[in-house]
Structure 1
Amino acid sequence: MLLRSDKDLFEQSKMSFGEHLEELRIALWKCVLALALGTIVGFILGKPVLNMIQGPLQEGLDGLRISQTKKATGEDALEVDGRTFIPLELYERTAGGVQKRLVFTPLDQDPRTQAIGTGVPDALMVYMKASLVVGVVVSSPALFYFIWSFVASGLYAHERAYVYTFMPFSLGLFLLGAAVAFFFAVKLVVDFLFTFYDWLGFAPMPRINEWLSFVLMLPLGFGVAFQLPLVMLFLERIGVFTVHLYQGHWKIAILVICVLSMILTPQDPGSMLLLAVPLVALYFGGIALCRFMPRRTTPLGNPIE
């Protein structure tokens, strides 16, 4: 029976090495064309995307500036017609000596609440990076399709069945991880880091190039990390690991998760913890997934008796 199963598995491999290279060349050119068209859309939408990306940083800078001015003057910020005004102390010489005056200035005109560029090409490079990111997002369905079309040509039927099953869940988990990072973790990390500026009395001068790298890498790291349950299930299905192995080595797994969290996120403890804690939960979720969806066949497709 095993020999017959092996024959069935290898029966569908019909492409030569040269044909695979040709398929790869065609797939790469299609991906480049799709990415170029998506990047054109990115150049059109680049500015609103940059404004959205700067949102968490801008909120953090505004909150820090309001807190610091309140400590310095003892006065709260004012809200007038939807704009925030912060107090500013001025001194003038009078006949009776020096007199303090309190003036309110618009928060959005304070240069200390704005990201800066330290090089001449910084603004252009940031805009091009944002446009490229938009291009990748816009063209991602086509990129996934072209890449999968190439990969599928080299897989056997039972391997394609695994990919068809796991790919929708994988994409969903990636988007979930990226959304958690951008809409939740980024703001928490910024607020956490700015508390030290407020505590120590420092004034931050964030560079827009560094901020863009941070805000793009953090969701990417979260999206990749959220694949953990599916990776565990896939490795269990093909016989690389077992549920008992996952359960018996959970302490080592947590150590590996902490190391990966340091690699996949910027070097600050806040973002590392925000990734490590969900990953630990996802690890045990992966164990539960393997237990509730046990492997019913051997890696070669034979049923387990």
Structure 2
Amino acid sequence: MPRNRDLFNDSTMTFGEHLEVLRVHVWRALIGLVIGVVAALFLGDKVIGILSQPIDEALRRNNQPEATDDIGGMDFSGFIKQMFSDEEKKPDKPPVMEEVPGDDELTVDVSIASLVAALKTVAPELVVETPDVPEKKEAAEPDDGDADAAANSKAGSAESSEPVESVSLVLRSDEIALFKKTADRFNRPVTYKVEEAFMTYLKVSLVAGLVLAAPWVFYQAWLFVAAGLYPHERKHVYIYLPMSIGLFMAGAVFCFYFVFPIVLDFLIQFNEWIGVELQPRLSEYISLVLMLPVMFGLSFQLPLVMLFLDRIGVMTVKGYLENWRMAVLVIAIVSMLMTPADPTSMLLMMFPLVFLYFGGIMLCRFRPGASTDPLA
């Protein structure tokens, strides 16, 4: 009987030797994880700044007085229509670039009448009454050559004669700086415990360190697992592992840069619609911003899950096509369970998953690497 020549037949290890190799790789992975966490501790403030950017921008955008003028008196259907409307409010006048006031400065508009009345009260000698001078009638009509000049002079005099209703004054004091700092609190997440910011910093640093050390940890796990795999099994890992990582990263990036701004706008405006003042808590927001991209990344693994079910014979391409309506219903339910309690994030997860469902059908039909698969 011919001897079976497999790659690892001549290097068979005992159970104790397997445990020793596992211990070595686990220690190496832990050392890499500790190094990643320590490095992340020095970058935690920058990571928190990146994670807090969506909520800071959403709060500043929605806390503008003109942003929520029309939300108050509408019903829920009108609120939904406004949220999903493509019409954008255009300013009546082009924006004027003005000098940004300092932290202790406040620019106010005071009417001329109020200013004059105040000056008359405190310093009447500074107010000079100017009697009205009647306009002189023109003695003669201007020549044709001077018509343009006369028209321009009349236009200029008309513009200069327009009454000025108010004047801008700059006020400066330490109390104004305190007032502006207090008002800016509504544009940022807050903490309600003394240790909350520190614990949140440690939590973010731990997650960031895990992300930094993930390639090294996965590499150590792969070194241990690969020794027990056949060549065709390792080939599948080389094909599908990059696909899995790519799908996960695509889901996380899609969630953070596209879903988050829309979801935050919806939730903030919903609070304003029902008359509730929103004051986001830092620890709860960080939990949301860390959890939701992970949920999106995991849900984007749908094509690979479909391929796995097809490979083990649980489902077929024909079965996927015949049951697509039921699949859409299941995707809607899963999207509802994996996202916060708002319809926006549910729909933004559901629509890409429906697209990935049909992408999974195409993946099962082409079946990359099927020629070396013993189950094919």
Structure 1 stretches lacking a partner, 5+ long? 96-101
1:180 partnered with 2:254 = yes
Aligned counterpart in structure 1 of residue 40 of structure 2, from 26, 39, 42:
42
Q: Aligned letter for 1:29? A: W
Residue matched to 2:232: 158
Residue matched to 1:199: 273
Residue matched to 2:319: 245
2 CA distance for matches of 1:180 and 1:220? 11
- 1:68 to partner: Cα distance: 6.4
Deviations 1:183-214 (A, max 9, x none): 11111110111121232232101110000010
Q: 1:81 to 1:145 in 2, by over 3 A?
A: farther
> Given that residues 310 and 317 in structure 2 are in contact (C-alpha distance below 8 angstroms), is that contact kept between their aligned partners in structure 1?
yes
SS at match of 2:63: helix
Deviations 1:152-188 (A, max 9, x none): 2232222111111111111111111111011111111
Deviations 1:75-97 (A, max 9, x none): x99974468999999xxxx99xx
2 CA distance for matches of 1:60 and 1:279? 26
Q: Aligned letter for 1:128? A: L
> Given that residues 8 and 227 in structure 2 are in contact (C-alpha distance below 8 angstroms), is that contact kept between their aligned partners in structure 1?
no
SS at match of 2:64: helix
2 CA distance for matches of 1:185 and 1:113? 20
Deviations 1:118-149 (A, max 9, x none): 22211011111111122122112111211222
Q: Aligned letter for 1:115? A: P
Deviations 1:59-80 (A, max 9, x none): 11112211368749xxx99974
Q: 1:244 to 1:18 in 2, by over 3 A?
A: farther
Q: 1:183 to 1:87 in 2, by over 3 A?
A: farther
Q: Aligned letter for 1:211? A: Y
Aligned length: 288
- Which deviates more from structure 2 when the two are superposed, residues 77-86 or residues 20-29? 77-86
Aligned counterpart in structure 2 of residue 65 of structure 1, from 63, 66, 70:
63
2 CA distance for matches of 1:165 and 1:280? 23
Q: CA RMSD in A?
A: 3.8
- 1:34 to partner: Cα distance: 0.9
Q: 1:131 to 1:295 in 2, by over 3 A?
A: closer
Q: Aligned letter for 1:148? A: W
Which of the pair is proportionally richer in strand?
Answer: 1
Q: Equivalent residues in 2 for 1:75-224 (5 A)?
A: 80-81=98-99, 109-224=183-298
SS at match of 1:54: helix
> Given that residues 31 and 142 in structure 1 are in contact (C-alpha distance below 8 angstroms), is that contact kept between their aligned partners in structure 2?
yes
Residue matched to 2:22: 24
Runs of 4+ in 1 over 4 A off after TM superposition: 7-13, 76-89, 102-109, 294-299
> Given that residues 69 and 86 in structure 1 are in contact (C-alpha distance below 8 angstroms), is that contact kept between their aligned partners in structure 2?
no
> Given that residues 332 and 346 in structure 2 are in contact (C-alpha distance below 8 angstroms), is that contact kept between their aligned partners in structure 1?
yes
2 CA distance for matches of 1:19 and 1:240? 37
SS at match of 2:247: helix
1:286 partnered with 2:360 = yes
SS at match of 2:200: helix
SS at match of 1:110: helix
Q: 1:298 to 1:269 in 2, by over 3 A?
A: same
SS at match of 2:228: coil
- Which deviates more from structure 2 when the two are superposed, residues 132-141 or residues 266-275? 266-275
Could you state the TM-score of these two structures normalised by the residue count of structure 1? 0.80
> Given that residues 178 and 220 in structure 1 are in contact (C-alpha distance below 8 angstroms), is that contact kept between their aligned partners in structure 2?
yes
2 CA distance for matches of 1:139 and 1:161? 24
Structure 2 stretches lacking a partner, 5+ long? 71-92, 110-116, 119-168
Q: 1:207 to 1:79 in 2, by over 3 A?
A: farther
Q: Aligned letter for 2:32? A: A
- 1:27 to partner: Cα distance: 2.4
Residue matched to 1:54: 52
Q: Aligned letter for 2:198? A: L
1 CA distance for matches of 2:108 and 2:218? 54
> Given that residues 197 and 204 in structure 1 are in contact (C-alpha distance below 8 angstroms), is that contact kept between their aligned partners in structure 2?
yes
